């Protein structure tokens, strides 16, 4: 299942490892964040349960194997490889940073240790699954961080890159600090609190706005939210203020929010709806939220769509999946890539997070602080249930709260210190000398 | 199936339509492109098969209904609504522009005509599915358009917003003009030609680069592509040039492509590999491709990843789903939204594409040229099989070829003329007067 959801070269390399007699070689791959996206001071790790699910279910169906066999790239591959694929499973080890952990440039988010074919094929899926959710969780943390405790609700499924990305994006947004999402399947599947109002079509389906408002209050009661801007926001607010019975509040979806929110607040108050809240949506992101609140605009909640659900100002994360170690007949060989300017560190690693810095060390070294990379799957088996989404969300909130103030700001700050242990630096130097002669 | 993959408000509105006695009202919704993304002169419509699949399979499972019933927003909803959901199916009509059709600002991509609840619930899914694939197909058309017939291969699944978005993105990229994709599932599922090379890990898994090159040629033969930049591109080219036997070519993945490609070409030629091709990948997009080729750099193929698979310079499409018409007991009422600056045109529509302009007319009007909105689903049934992906790709290529030169450029040009018929303008004016008094 899902084993074809990868780049073809993972599979041709799989075949080539097989034909080159490397089936028994064990590889260690490291998935890490090369650079932080612009204006980000950390990236929140997210998406691990999807990775675990993928690895535990990785297999090829018979028709998938037949498809590969028919491709021109596999014409010279021996039948034994296709037999091998029939029984293919992930039998290796996965080490990963818990969801909700802030990471910094150059830090590994996970490590896979497995026979080289089993470790190679997952590359594409793992990169996509973790990068996407981490991007969205990070963006959500930024939006929630400036909202001063006011709920920020994720409204962006319609702009997500496929509906399914909307579901996983909603999960990540909640993990990162959103109060909930409009994505109902994310509620059903992951327990994300779901929230929503009405669309303009509700208002337009009635011949008059007042009737639309009256009906939705009658039907939904105290959870009703009146959408004000179908025809004219101020006129809409007057209609809403005349609604009998309690309703949650109103939503502004266009116009100059600073002016409108104040006017609408006054109209609601004068209409006896002091408890009715004002939610704002439409082209919001963290800077806009900060700006609105800086002026004391009376806003109680935010709905954030496009900008959050595709992390519009930073829609990709610079993650890499690197071979760092290979074990051939019990002998370890360390590997690194040297054509880039950036140093590439070989070998299995651990991250130690101390109170004032991170140390990236060789696996097995002792260190101070929390060891971030934890065993998740050993020998193809999940060793214990993963933390729940609520726990991951809690970890995110607590971890972010512990960071220095400057790193919680929206602007790029002096980076959190990340250093490499002496042992790791020595190994790096030795590996470079061995490889480049 | 999939009926919860929507914004909660579609479902609360569904409940409210039900409670307000609107179940029998038939609505017409229009999904259109409000504005073209920056630098785009058209948007290629893509994603229709996924929309059709969704509509034909739309239903609620028992546990999904139980979930909704337990939500606070549904506490005042009568049991009859949940019974209604149990038998819920899409029984309406879908009209849509064929995949591969270039569209311009303000044009509808599809129209849904159905009982209002059935037409409301699909909003979120439809917007996401069509916007995403259309974005990627459009970006692919731009990349392929400047490559002068050289193959552009989509390599971006690892940067896609979820692995599944990688599969659908690969489909859209092929539709838009890419020669193929590295996404193997897109090959298996949609017949997209799949292509690939090897990763750095292949080279690093050997103790020497020459041995890695020799082995991959031996195993994959004429489809082998040597990746040159693991340690040093020029040294890599020398190793590749010494390979015995034919191989497809080499891939450059970092560095100054203009200089390197020339040097590598010379090394390959002098090594007797005049037929070996040069593929370039790494941070490419349409401007970079144009720039590389303008200098006559000897490049035979391009691999485009991040920039294509998330349409990085324009990662969202400004699509809207608008209620334009409602039929209550046989009487039509036209609807529009007036709070925006932009005019909103009520009523069912047709687009007529003539040789020099598009006319958006009322549905039922006669017009010159091709009528773009075609019936796809009538009364809940697909009326005929959709065009194949190959046919859609062909339509895209032919339609783009017919556009004026200026609209095929990368820069924003004088827009294609899109006018509204007199009947449509009159209806719009009448509707505005009726609504705003």
Task: Give the span between the Cα atoms of B109 and B360, in whole angstroms.
Answer: 12
Strand-strand pairing, B370-371 and A331-334:
unpaired
- Domain B139-309, CATH class in plain words: alpha beta
Residues of B whose CB is below 8 A from A14: none
Closest Cβ–Cβ partner in A160, A197, A216 for B128: A160
Paired with A352 in beta bridges are A359, A371
Name B27's bridge partners.
B114, B326
Which of B170, B323, B339 to mutate against chain A (most A CBs within 10 Å)? B339
Checking if the pLDDT of A344 tops 90, the result is no
Q: How confident is the model at residue A343 (pLDDT cuts 50, 70, 90)?
A: confident
B162 → closest Cβ in A10, A72, A168: A168
> Which of chain B's residues have a Cβ under 8 Å away from the Cβ of A315?
161, 310, 312, 315
CA distance B193 to A432: 39
Phi-psi region of A219 (alpha: psi -120 to 50; beta: other; left: phi over 0): alpha
Among candidates A155, A169, A231 on the partner chain, residue whose Cβ is nearest the Cβ of B436: A231
Residue B355 Cα, gap to closest chain A Cα (Å): 33
ipTM of the predicted structure? 0.97
B-chain residues near A219 (CB < 8 A): 15-16, 19-20, 76-77
Are A18 and A81 spatial neighbours (Cβ–Cβ below 8 Å)? yes
Residues 6+ apart with CB under 8 A from A141: A44, A176, A177, A396, A400
Is A13's CB within 8 Å of B201's CB?
A: yes
Of B124, B323, B336, the CB nearest to A157: B124
Local structure of residue B56 (DSSP, 8 states): H
Topology classification of domain A138-309: TIM Barrel (3.20.20)
Query: Mind giving me the DSSP string for A176-243?
Result: HT-SEESBHHHHHHH---B-----HHHHHTSSSHHHHHHHHHHHHGGG-EEE--SS-HHHHHHHHHT-
Measured in whole angstroms, the distance separating CA A320 from the mean position of its chain's CA atoms is: 16
Six-digit token pair at B310? 């998330």
Q: What is the pLDDT of residues B119-156, one digit of tens each?
A: 999 999 999 999 999 999 999 999 999 999 999 999 99
Cβ B124–A166 below 8 Å, yes or no?
Answer: yes
Mutate to test the interface with B, among A4, A162, A307, A433 (most CBs of B within 10 A): A162
Which of these, B104, B121, B192, B203, lies nearest to B153 by C-alpha position? B192
A149: which 2 tokens? Answer: 């405790």
Q: Do B231 and A338 touch (CB under 8 A)?
A: yes
What residues in B contact A162, CB-CB < 8 Å? 128-129, 132, 161-162, 164-165, 168
Q: Residue A302 phi/psi, 5° resolution?
A: -125, 140
Cβ A230–B333 below 8 Å, yes or no?
no
The hierarchical CATH code for the domain A8-135+315-436 is 3.20.140.10
Asked if A221's CB is within 8 angstroms of B72's CB, the reply is no
* Contact assignment for B158 to A339 by CB distance below 8 Å: no
Q: Could you tell me the two tokens for B104?
A: 């311009």
For B69, which residue in chain A has the nearest alpha carbon? Answer: A188
Q: What is the DSSP string of B168-227?
A: HHHHHHHHHT-SEESBHHHHHHH---B-----HHHHHTSSSHHHHHHHHHHHHGGG-EEE
Q: Render the burial of A88-113: b for 16+ CB within 10 Å, e for the rest.
A: bebebbbbbbbbbbbbbbbbbbbbbb
CB contact under 8 A, A200 and B337: yes
pLDDT tens digits for chain B (437 residues)?
789 999 999 999 999 999 999 999 999 999 999 999 999 999 999 999 999 999 999 999 999 999 999 999 999 999 999 999 999 999 999 999 999 999 999 999 999 999 999 999 999 999 999 999 999 999 999 999 999 999 999 999 999 999 999 999 999 999 999 999 999 999 999 999 999 888 999 999 998 999 999 999 999 999 999 999 998 999 999 999 999 999 999 999 999 999 999 999 999 999 999 999 999 999 999 999 999 999 899 999 999 999 999 999 999 999 999 999 999 988 999 998 876 666 789 999 999 999 999 999 999 999 999 999 999 999 999 999 999 999 999 999 999 999 999 999 999 999 999 999 999 999 999 998 887 66
Contact B216, B210 (CB under 8 A): no
Q: CB–CB of A205 and B125 under 8 A? A: no
Instruction: Report CB contact under 8 Å: A188, B132.
Output: no
Average pLDDT, stretch A209-227?
Answer: 95
**Cα–Cα distance measured from residue A185 to residue B408, given in angstroms and rounded to the nearest whole number:** 40
Contacts of A20 in chain B (CB under 8 A): 215, 219
**Residue numbers in A near B336 (CB within 8 A):** 204
Question: Which candidate from B159, B169, B319 shows the least CB-CB separation from A316?
Answer: B159
Judge residue B309's burial from the number of C-beta atoms within 10 Å of its C-beta, 0-12 exposed, 13-18 middle, 19 or more buried.
buried
Write the DSSP symbol of residue A74.
G
- Contact state of B7 with A229 under an 8 Å Cβ cutoff: no
Q: For residues B198 and B229, what is the distance between their CA atoms, to the nearest angstrom? A: 12
Nearest CA among B411, B418, B420, B417 for reference residue B41: B411
Write out chain A residues lying below 8 Å of B223, CB-based: 72-73, 75
Q: What's the predicted TM-score (pTM) here? A: 0.97
Q: Which among A9, A54, A167 has CB closest to B199?
A: A9
Closest by Cβ to A220, choosing from B12, B125, B187: B12
What token pair was written down for B34? 């409000």
The phi, psi pair for B376, rounded to 5°, reads: -115, -50
Minimal Cα–Cα distance from A40 to chain B, Å? 18
Judged by DSSP in three states, A69 sits in helix
The alpha carbon of residue A299 and the mean position of all alpha carbons in its chain are separated, in whole angstroms, by 27
User: What's the sign of the alpha-carbon dihedral B149, B150, B151, B152?
Assistant: negative
Q: Where in chain A are all domains bearing CATH 3.20.20.70?
A: 138-309
Quick: pLDDT tens for A276-328: 999 999 999 999 999 999 989 999 999 999 999 999 999 999 999 999 999 99
Dump pLDDT digits (tens) for A122-168.
999 999 999 999 999 999 999 999 999 999 999 999 999 999 999 99
**A124, B16: Cβ pair inside 8 Å?**
no
- Model confidence at A184, pLDDT cuts 50, 70, 90, reads very high
Domain with CATH 3.20.140.10 in chain B: 8-135+315-436
pLDDT score of B341: 65
User: How many angstroms separate the Cα of A34 from the Cα of each of A240, A386, B160, B284?
Assistant: 51, 26, 17, 18
Minimal CA separation from B266 to chain A, in Å: 21
- B69/chain A closest Cα distance in angstroms: 12
Query: CATH 3.20.20.70 in chain B, residues?
Result: 139-309
The shortest CB-CB distance from B219 to any of A76, A120, A339 is to A76
């Amino acid at each position: 299942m899902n084993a074809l959801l990868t780049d073809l070269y993972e599979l041709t390399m799989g075949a080539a490892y097989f034909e080159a007699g490397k089936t028994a070689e064990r590889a260690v791959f490291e998935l890490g964040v090369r650079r932080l996206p612009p204006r980000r001071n950390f990236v929140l790790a997210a998406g691990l349960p999807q990775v675990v699910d993928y690895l535990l279910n990785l297999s090829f169906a018979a028709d998938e194997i037949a498809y590969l066999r028919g491709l021109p790239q596999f014409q010279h591959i021996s039948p034994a490889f296709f037999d091998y694929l029939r029984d293919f499973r992930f039998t290796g080890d996965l080490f990963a940073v818990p969801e909700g952990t802030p990471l910094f440039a150059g830090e590994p988010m996970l490590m896979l240790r497995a026979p080289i074919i089993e470790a190679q094929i997952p590359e594409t899926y793992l990169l996509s699954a973790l990068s996407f959710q981490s991007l969205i969780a990070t963006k959500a943390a930024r939006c929630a961080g400036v909202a001063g405790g006011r709920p920020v609700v994720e409204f962006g499924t319609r702009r997500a890159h496929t509906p399914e990305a909307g579901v996983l994006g909603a999960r990540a947004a909640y993990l990162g600090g959103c109060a909930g999402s409009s994505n109902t399947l994310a509620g059903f599947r992951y327990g994300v609190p779901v929230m929503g109002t009405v669309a303009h079509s509700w208002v337009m389906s009635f011949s008059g706005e007042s009737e639309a408002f009256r009906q939705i209050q009658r039907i939904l009661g105290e959870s009703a939210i009146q959408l004000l801007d179908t025809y004219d926001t101020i006129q809409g607010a007057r209609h809403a203020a005349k609604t009998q019975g309690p309703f949650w509040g109103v939503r502004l979806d266009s116009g100059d929010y600073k002016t409108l929110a104040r006017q609408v607040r006054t109209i609601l108050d004068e209409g006896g709806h002091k408890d009715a809240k004002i939610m704002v949506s439409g082209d919001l992101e963290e800077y806009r939220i900060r700006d609105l609140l800086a002026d004391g605009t009376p806003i109680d909640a935010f709905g954030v769509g496009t900008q959050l659900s595709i992390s519009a100002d930073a829609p990709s994360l610079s993650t890499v999946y690197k071979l760092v170690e290979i074990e051939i007949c019990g002998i370890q060989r360390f590997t690194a890539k040297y054509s880039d300017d950036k140093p590439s560190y070989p070998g299995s690693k651990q991250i130690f997070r101390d109170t004032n810095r991170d140390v990236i060390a060789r696996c097995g070294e002792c260190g101070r602080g929390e060891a971030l990379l934890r065993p998740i799957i050993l020998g193809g088996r999940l060793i214990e249930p993963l933390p729940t989404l609520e726990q991951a969300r809690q970890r995110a909130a607590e971890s972010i709260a512990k960071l220095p103030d400057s790193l919680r700001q929206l602007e790029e700050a002096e980076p959190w210190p990340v250093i490499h242990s002496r042992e790791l630096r020595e190994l790096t130097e030795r590996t470079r000398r061995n490889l480049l002669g």
